């Protein structure tokens, strides 16, 4: 069952931010060593970058963990709106969960679990957002 993980309005706002701000959604490559470490601990062969943004985690992982196939999902990035149709060993959500709308949190978590991962890796910022939506 496909669940809606983001409102249409918020997806459009995020598309705009991706288009206007080169740095928005582009920092996950810095997390690649830690993600690779935990993925290897569970013998992962597949990984989904959930909320992949600009997609910087995938090439970084391909460099340091080429044995792991990386899939990308981001409902606000054209061409990356589809989830894999199969289970994955790891779901990684780097700096994503703090951006999830409260009404969609359950759907996001259920979507992650439906992919039957061995492990879910999340990096969640606990500082106030720098962007201001008015």
CATH label of the domain that carries residue 87: 3.40.50.150
Q: Please report whether residue 2 resides in a domain.
A: no
Would the pLDDT of 13 be above 50? yes
Q: Which domain holds residue 89?
A: 8-123
Q: Please report whether residue 129 resides in a domain.
A: no
- The pLDDT, as a whole number, for residue 1 is 54
pTM: 0.90
Which pairs from 8-14 meet CB under 8 Å and 24+ separation?
A: 10/76, 10/101, 11/75, 11/76, 12/76, 13/133, 14/76, 14/99
Digit-coded pLDDT (tens) for 90-120:
999 999 999 899 999 999 999 999 999 999 9
Q: Please report whether residue 128 resides in a domain.
A: no
Would the pLDDT of 128 be above 80? no
Q: Pairing mode, if any, of strands 46-50 and 69-73?
A: parallel
Q: Please report whether residue 130 resides in a domain.
A: no
Digit-coded pLDDT (tens) for 39-94:
999 999 999 999 999 999 999 999 999 999 999 999 989 999 999 999 999 999 99
- The pLDDT, as a whole number, for residue 134 is 47
Query: Of the candidates 44, 36, 42, which has an alpha carbon nearest to the alpha carbon of residue 61?
Result: 36
Can you tell me the mean pLDDT for 4-25? 85
Digit-coded pLDDT (tens) for 28-49:
889 999 999 999 999 999 999 9
As for how many domains the chain has, the answer is 1
Instruction: State in Å, rounded, how far the first CA of the chain is from the last one.
Output: 34
Separation of alpha carbons 106 and 125, rounded Å? 19
Query: Of the candidates 130, 118, 95, 99, which has an alpha carbon nearest to the alpha carbon of residue 43?
Result: 118
């Amino acid at each position: 069952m496909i669940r809606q993980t983001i409102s249409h309005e918020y997806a459009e706002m995020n598309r705009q931010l991706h288009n206007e701000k080169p740095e928005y959604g582009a920092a996950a490559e810095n997390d690649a060593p830690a993600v690779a470490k935990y993925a290897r601990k569970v013998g992962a062969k597949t990984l989904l970058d959930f909320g992949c943004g600009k997609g910087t985690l995938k090439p970084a992982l391909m460099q340091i963990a080429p044995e792991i196939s990386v899939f990308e999902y981001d409902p606000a990035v054209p061409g990356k709106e589809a989830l894999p149709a199969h289970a994955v060993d790891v779901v990684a959500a780097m700096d994503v969960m703090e951006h999830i709308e409260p009404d969609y949190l359950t759907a996001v978590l259920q979507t992650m679990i439906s992919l039957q991962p061995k492990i879910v890796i999340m990096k969640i910022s606990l500082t106030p957002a720098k962007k201001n939506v008015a």
